[in-house]
Structure 1
Amino acid sequence: MTSTLTGGRYAPALVAPLLLVLYGVLRLVDGLDGKHGPGLAWNLGHTLFFAGFLLFGVVTFGLRRIAVAATPGRHQVANVATAVSLFGIACFLWVILGDLFAVLDDAAPLPEQLELAGPLAFQLGWLVLLTLPTAATPRALPVWSPLLVLAGFLLFSVDLDLLPVGGLLLTAGLLPVARPRRQPVDVPVSSRRP
């Protein structure tokens, strides 16, 4: 006989995109004077942006676990998508550090090709990791999950002023990853009531 327990599944999946929302809001505040540049809103926003992308790295491993569990035969695809995502996240982190510390950007700027490839790698890897379980087992992740994440990514590419809205779409798309989940748990015979 089995019973179910409820528990939190993956809180970083909600925290990371919410940090992106906060970064987007601070970016809008910073740009009220017509330019984006060093200052309190800029520095605080980029610090949140950096923390968000560190958490996106953590979430990537959680997405990999879900993808591998739902599609055991696609283990290698999930591994490649994870590596591609982590490469993109590393590019993001390097650029954010360069924005926060101009001396770093002057000393070792990220090559322009990697500045373009990094975001695409992150997004492509995540979309693969979200699509694998969705296609294999509808109960693993709903179809709307990768679609909302894709919509958020598309908003980022249209205009960086849409970061708060895109971040909210990512949050909504990652809800199935972060929400409490009912898991069957075996109940030992000795603890069952007659």
Structure 2
Amino acid sequence: MSNTPWRRTAFTAGPLCMTAYGLIRLTDGEHGPGLAWSLGHLAFLTGVLCFVPVLLGMRRAAVRGRGPAGRGFAAAGAVIGLLGAAAVVAQAAIDLVAGFLSEDREAMREIFERVKSHAGVEPVVYGVGPLLFYVGLLLLMAQLAALRRIAAWRPAAVVAGIVATGISLDLLPLAGLLFLVAFAPLGRRLDRPDRPPVPVSPDPGPLRAR
């Protein structure tokens, strides 16, 4: 796999942007509209977009030198994660537009209700769709851990981050930091080729006296 520097940076930038979104959100008592709402969602949108090369980078690392089954599993994880990322991007874009067009929280709520009234929008953009993003990340992280390309505690850190967001959105900064610990060093590490096995010399047997 040949990662360009910006792809390596994405492994750190993505979690940092998610952490920034969580911190900005804590300062926004009304949760929109306003500057904090817009800045926070821009940070969140940037973070999710950074995870696109992360997903692709992990897929490349997982398929290198593997059989059809391994390549298929990695491709499935990447596709699931990218579909989820698309849903999250759509949600963030809707939130940004609603915040820009609204004067208060009530006006935002009306916009959200109109958007969700369209068939399929709520489950795809606000329900199952965003969950696929985390499922894809976990599948690829688990595969890399099983292949011993990464330590087993890294997928566990991702799970802890997901659980934190499920408990409360106020824990988003903690979730972002857990993602940072799990992903930050991987951009360069996954770029390294697998080390070939060290050849073992045949046993020469006992030396004969001359």
TM-score by length of structure 2 reads 0.75
Task: Answer whether contact 2:77 2:135 (CA < 8 A) is retained.
Answer: yes
Which secondary structure state, in structure 2, belongs to the residue aligned with residue 37 of structure 1?
Answer: coil
Between 113-122 and 48-57, the greater mean CA deviation after superposition: 113-122
Q: Is 2:67 aligned against 1:67? A: no
Could you tell me which residue of structure 1 aligns to residue 23 of structure 2? 25
Aligned 8 A contact 2:59 2:74 in 1: yes
In the alignment, which residue of structure 2 is the partner of 1:44?
39
CA distance in structure 2 between the partners assigned to 1:79 and 1:182 by the alignment? 18
User: Does the alignment pair 1:76 with 2:72?
Assistant: yes
**Larger C-alpha radius of gyration, 1 or 2?**
2
Paired residue for 1:4?
none
Runs of 5+ consecutive residues of structure 1 not aligned to the other structure = 1-6, 185-194
Return the alpha-carbon distance in structure 1 between the equivalents of residues 38 and 182 of structure 2.
Answer: 28
Query: Do the aligned partners of residues 49 and 182 (structure 1) sit closer, same or farther apart at CA in structure 2, a change above 3 Å counting?
Result: closer
Q: CA separation of 1:162/1:48 partners in 2, compared to 1, >3 Å: closer, same or farther?
A: same
Does the aligned pair in 2 maintain the 1:85–1:123 contact within 8 Å?
yes
Deviation at 1:17, TM superposition (A): 0.6
How far did 1:107 drift?
Answer: 6.8
2:141 alignment partner in structure 1: 130
Q: Which amino acid aligns with 2:163?
A: L
Moved more, 88-97 or 109-118: 109-118
1:55: which partner in 2? 50
Partner secondary structure for residue 101 of structure 1: helix
The one-letter amino acid of 1:89's match is: A
Contact 1:131–1:146 under 8 Å retained in 2 = yes
CA distance in 1, matches of 2:19, 2:65: 30
- Is 1:142–1:176's contact at 8 Å kept on the other side of the alignment? no
Structure 2 gap ranges (5+): 102-110, 194-210
Secondary structure at 2:48's aligned position in 1? helix
User: What does 1:29-178 align with in structure 2 at a 5 Å threshold?
Assistant: 29-31=27-29, 35-69=30-64, 71-73=66-68, 74-102=70-98, 108-109=115-116, 111-114=121-124, 115-136=126-147, 138=148, 140-178=149-187
How far the C-alpha of 1:57 sits from its partner, in A, is: 1.3
SS at match of 1:168: helix
Q: How many equivalent residue pairs?
A: 173
In terms of fraction of residues, the more strand-rich structure is 1
SS at structure 2 position matched to 1:121: helix
Give the partner amino acid of 2:33.
Answer: P
Task: Using the aligned pairs only, state the percent identity.
Answer: 35
Aligned alpha-carbon RMSD (Å): 2.3
Secondary structure, in 3 states, of the residue corresponding to 1:11? Answer: helix
Letter in structure 2 aligned against 1:166: A
Cα 1:181/1:121, change in 2 over 3 Å: closer
Inter-CA distance 48–182: structure 2 relative to 1 (3 Å threshold)? closer
Structure 2 Cα separation of the partners of residues 43 and 183 of structure 1: 38
Alpha-carbon distance in 1 for matches of 2:56, 2:191: 21
Q: Deviations over 1:151-189 (max 9, x none)?
A: 1111011100000000000010113413557947xxxxx
- Letter paired with 1:133: L
